Structure 1
Amino acid sequence: MRLVRTSAAGLTAADVAAQTGQHLSTTRAHLDLLVEAGLLVKARASGGLPGRPAWRYRAVADDPAPAPYRALAAALLEHLPANESGVRDTAVRVGRDWGRQLAANVRDTANPVEAVTTVLETLGFSPRAHAPEGGTVDVHLRTCPFLDLVSQNPDAMCGLHAGVVRGVLEQRGAQGAGTVLEPFGAPDACVVHLPLPSLSDEDPA
């Protein structure tokens, strides 16, 4: 727990094994028990798809999301069993509908990036938009108030959040299909890659 908590970007089981001298299988078993206890969450940099990078573990955030959003997310999990095929696609579809509804409450003059960050701020993600090389826009999510729910079903929750962003973009007339949510994609943050050109050479935040 101490090792994971001191690593803002999270650690893999191999990282922990190397630092503790324990066997990898033993380390992984202990980490997964901490996930089951709700103390850690695990996710892949790819969003949990098979054949992707190793699981990374991170400590659960102290501040939960607003109660209505948590209730909606928890209700979704009840209908999306973990590790079942198609779970992520279903969660993305639900998220898209939710995102369109949330975006409707954002001021009309907000551009798509501003609409995305406004909705994510409302949900408690502490977002910050960046314009990396390549002319696109990334949004760093510096907190995840749903981490305890992510630990129950990472594919569903990460899919739900990616879907929310897609729905916001679509409500603003922008292309949302290429949106990718990358858990642990940057130090101190998960990263949402938006299929949008940068609005300027400056940080759009």
Structure 2
Amino acid sequence: MTDHQTGLQQLIGAADAPVTVRAVAQELGWSTETTRRRLEDLVERGLARRRTATAEGRGRPAMTYEAVAGMDRSGPTAHGLLARLLARTTAEAGDGPPDPYEVGRRWAQDQRADRAETPRTSPSRPSPSRHSPLERASRAAEELLAEHGFAPEREPADPTRITLRHCPFLDVAEEHPDVVCRLHDGMLAGVTAGTGVAHRLTPFARPDRCLVTLTPTGGDTP
């Protein structure tokens, strides 16, 4: 989703009642036509619902829009990655019960090691080591999550919280959260390991999102 679409979805999702095109346009400073087009985009994506308001006086009743509860289903899927992780879970289980969390953790640590061998920091940008442990952990988590289609958004008012509005494994996660969400939890554990920051994943914290909360622990490792 673009920033405009995300902001628009958040606005109508926070509204207590269906909103009109004019009200949204005034709130966001957009033209009426632009607002209507972007609202219709959300309707087509299944993220909003269009309704006809009750007529008041003469003239045609206004169209209103309301958010549809649920995560974004229109984003990318990563069934190939999920299949590889599940195969790895089975292969590493041995004689004991499989542990998706541990597989996700080791996989994320492998990803971190690969990135360490090919640094992405340009000469003009500060080295990640100059940032606080929370900032480094948050950036690392966002980068990994974005790369694999989770659509992470760090909350501006609270840098310890990252919302996930899309899950590339959503259809499977809804049926088997004990496996898929635990894999995801392990991935976050692997990407934050050694940063001095602990994470907590809350699957489906709201119908339209999962939530990652980061907490500094004071045990930073360079």
Name the TM-score, length of structure 1 as normaliser. 0.52
Gaps of 5+ in 1: 1-7, 9-56, 81-85, 198-205
Aligned Cα RMSD in Å?
3.5
Q: Which whole-Å CA distance do the structure 2 matches of 1:190 and 1:59 have between them?
A: 9
CA contact under 8 A between 1:130 and 1:139: conserved in structure 2? yes
Instruction: Identify which of 103, 107, 116 aligns with 1:98.
Output: 107
Indicate the structure (1 or 2) with the bigger Cα radius of gyration.
Answer: 2
Alignment of 1:10-159 (within 5 A): 58=70, 61-66=73-78, 68-75=80-87, 90-104=99-113, 105=115, 107=120, 109-110=127-128, 111-130=136-155, 137-159=160-182
Percent same amino acid at aligned positions? 29
Q: Which whole-Å CA distance do the structure 2 matches of 1:59 and 1:77 have between them?
A: 26
What's the CA shift for 1:65? 2.7
Q: Per-residue CA shift, 1:120-176, capped at 9, x if unaligned?
A: 00110000122666xx71111110110122134211111111111110111xx3146
Paired AA for residue 128 in structure 1: E
Paired AA for residue 83 in structure 2: A
Paired AA for residue 107 in structure 2: W
Count of residue correspondences: 132
More helix by share: 2
Paired AA for residue 91 in structure 1: P
CA contact under 8 A between 1:77 and 1:153: conserved in structure 2? no
Q: Per-residue CA shift, 1:62-111, capped at 9, x if unaligned?
A: 4343454132244357679xxxxx76xx2211111011122232646442
Q: Which whole-Å CA distance do the structure 2 matches of 1:123 and 1:74 have between them?
A: 16
Q: Which whole-Å CA distance do the structure 2 matches of 1:158 and 1:175 have between them?
A: 23
CA contact under 8 A between 1:60 and 1:148: conserved in structure 2? no
Q: Does 1:179 align with 2:199?
A: yes
Name the TM-score, length of structure 2 as normaliser. 0.49
- 1:194/1:131 CA distance change after superposition, 3 Å: farther
Q: Which whole-Å CA distance do the structure 2 matches of 1:131 and 1:79 have between them?
A: 41
